[in-house]
Each structure stands twice: as C-alpha cells, then as structure tokens.
A and B are shown apart, each in its own frame.
Chain A
C-alpha cells in the first residue's frame, strides 16, 4: 500500500538519512561498548592491559605493507566518494519534476512543474471551505506526482471537500493534461483559521 506513487508523494522520503544515521549510531554504540568490555577485562585480564595500538597488529601490518597501503588508499577514496555523495544527497532540495506529456521525437511536450502547480492551486482555492492551497510537483521525472496541501476553514465538511477535490480539481487536471492517472497526495490541515469575511 505504501509503495504506490501517490502514497510516496505524501512527504519527502527520509529513509536514506534515517538508515545512515541509524547504522552509524549502531556502529558507534557497539564499538564503544566493545571497548568498554575490553577495558573492563571481561575478555581476559591481559587483553585489557595491552596497548590500543597492539604490537602484534602493527607487526602484521608491517609484514604486509604493500597490500595494507593499497587497501588503506582504496578505503579512503571510497569513503571520500560515498561521504560526499551522501552529504550532497541530504542537502539537495526535493526535486520538482516537469511532466513529460509526449516524448515522441520531434513533438515533445513538457509541462513545467510551476505551470501545473499554479493551475491546480488556482482550481483548489476556488473550492468551498478551502482557505489556502499549496501545490507542488514531487517525485522523479519518470514517476511524477502532485502534492496538494489544503488549509481548510473551521467546521468544513470533510467529505464534501473530498468529493469536490476529486471531481472538480483532479479530474480537470487529468483531463486537461490528457492523463489517465495523475498520482496525487493530499495533505489536509484542518481548522487553520476562522471563517472570516472582510467586506
């Protein structure tokens, strides 16, 4: 259920960031705990008294100097590339893909993300009970989706907004774009402001 494009469009995915933070945290926790266990002498009295930089390990590395150096350099480069990619991935703003309506060569037709959000937003703000709407394109170029945030007045009938949204806004957007399906995620913010009329 949560794998559908529309469900994914509900909010930006944090899976990558969460997994990285989780794994690094887990490794740090386990490493720290292991060091504490060794230091407390639970893995043998003498293991706890040996130096951090164990002479046995240093001797072994000295005996295999060339492979160790190559491995260290490869590890360093891999860490550099992965680390930079990860930092850029985290910093990059969520993309707003344009919609490819026609990819036939010579007759390409692209609707920009700004154009479609503007049109749907204007439609959505016409609905009864909607005080404000925010629309943006999300997802990737190959599977784009719309994310609509509706700010509803206090006491608005949820079911009517629901039907109006589907019948008037989304159907119209689909028809004007000539699409059978347009994955859409709707976020409702209820009772955001009093229904006030300024005359």
Chain B
C-alpha cells in the first residue's frame, strides 16, 4: 500500500500544480485581454453549462457520488499505508530493531510444524496478534491446542518483542467431526 500512496501523492501534487497554473493563466489572460477568447480551457462554455445545471440534476448527483467515493478510497489508502513492522526491544541506546510480520510468521510456523501430530499449519502475524491454524489427523483440537499455545508462547518469550502479541490457535482435525 505504501508505494501506492507515494504514487497517489505525486499525482495529486501534479494535479494541484496543473490546476493552479491553469487558473492563474486564464484569469491573468482574461484580465489582460478581456475581448479575446480563452487560452486553453473553454471556460465560457463551462460557465454557461454550470449556470443551466441545478444542484438536483442527475449529472450533479452522480458526480458528487463519484467524488465522495474517490475521497473515501484515498482516505482508506492513506490509513492502510501505516508501517507494519514488528518492533523488538532496543538492545542499546540509539539502536532500534524491527522485523517483518512475515519473518515472525515464518518463525512461528517452523516451530508449530515441527510439533508431533501436526500435518500442516498456516500462520499470520502482526505486532499485536499471531494467528495459527493447524491441521492434524491424529489429535483433536482439545488435545493439541493447549500444547501448541504453550509452544508458541515459549517461542515468543525467547524473542525480545517490544509487545507480546496475542496468540490464537485453531486446530482443524477430522477427529473432531466424528
């Protein structure tokens, strides 16, 4: 999301610059030569159209809806572009350490898959939460889940994370369906 916001910000900047340049140019030109036509933007035609269009016209409502939707998309993009790095405790003054959520998930995934009776596992991680979804053919959720929770908690205790994430474990086992 971050490159998208950088791109959006560049495009918005350029759009504002272009609009500002056109505004200054047209107003200045019209002031200097009131008799001659517009320079680049056919604004007298736009003026006539806008003057005949009411606020309740269909085109205006659609345009307003599109504008609001585009604004909402921009808002969400800006909010989603936050840093997702997982902070670790600072080992010394003026040294800061972070890791990627993917690294943390990989670390947890390796340990979970190494456990007995775990057929497979998917892990998603963020600074606040680690979600483990394991599959097992031999053990039920009730048997395996406490063990996995404990394993992951022990592992995370060994990693100097700045804040301990909440761990959730779900076990998917055919034995539970019988």
B158 within 8 A of A: yes
Instruction: Flag whether A97 is at the interface (Cβ < 8 A).
Output: no
Of A4, A14, A49, A159, which is within 8 A of B2 by CB?
A14
Q: Does B40 contact A (CB under 8 A)?
A: no
**A189 adjacent to B23 (CB under 8 Å):** no
Asked whether A83 and B106 contact (CB < 8 A) given A51-B51, A51-B52, A186-B95, the answer is no
Q: In the complex, what residue of chain B is closest to A77 when comparing beta carbons?
A: B24
Give the residue name and chain of the B residue nearest to A182 (CB): B94
Q: Which residues of the other chain, A, contact B117 by a CB distance below 8 angstroms?
A: none
Collect the chain B residues with CB atoms within 8 Å of residue A192's CB. 103
A29 at the interface (CB under 8 A from B): yes
Q: How far is the CA of A28 from the CA of B12 in the complex (A)?
A: 12
Q: Determine how close the nearest CB of chain B comes to the CB of A188; give it in whole angstroms.
A: 4
Query: For B158, what are the chain A residues with a Cβ–Cβ distance below 8 Å?
Result: 158-159
Contact A24 B74 (CB under 8 A): yes
Cβ-closest chain A residue relative to B21: A80
Q: From residue A187, how far is it (CB to closest CB) to chain B in Å?
A: 6
Chain B, range 39-69, C-beta contacts under 8 Å to A: 47, 50-57, 60-61, 63-69
How many residues of A are counted as interface, with CB atoms below 8 angstroms from the partner's CB atoms? 81
Say whether B100 faces chain A, with CB atoms less than 8 Å apart. Answer: yes
Is A114's beta carbon under 8 Å from chain B? Answer: no
Contact indicator A14/B21 (Cβ below 8 Å): no
Segment among B82-90, B129-137, B144-152, B169-177 that sits at the interface with chain A: B82-90
How far does the alpha carbon of A22 sit from the alpha carbon of B72 in the complex, in Å? 9
Q: Taking beta carbons and an 8 Å cutoff, which residues of B are in contact with A?
A: 2, 5-25, 27-28, 31, 47, 50-57, 60-61, 63-79, 81-83, 85, 88, 90-100, 103-104, 106-107, 110, 158-160
| Chain A residues engaging chain B, CB cutoff 8 angstroms | 4-7, 9-11, 14, 16-22, 24-33, 35-36, 38-41, 47-53, 55, 58, 69, 72-73, 75-91, 154-155, 158-159, 162-163, 165-166, 170, 181-192
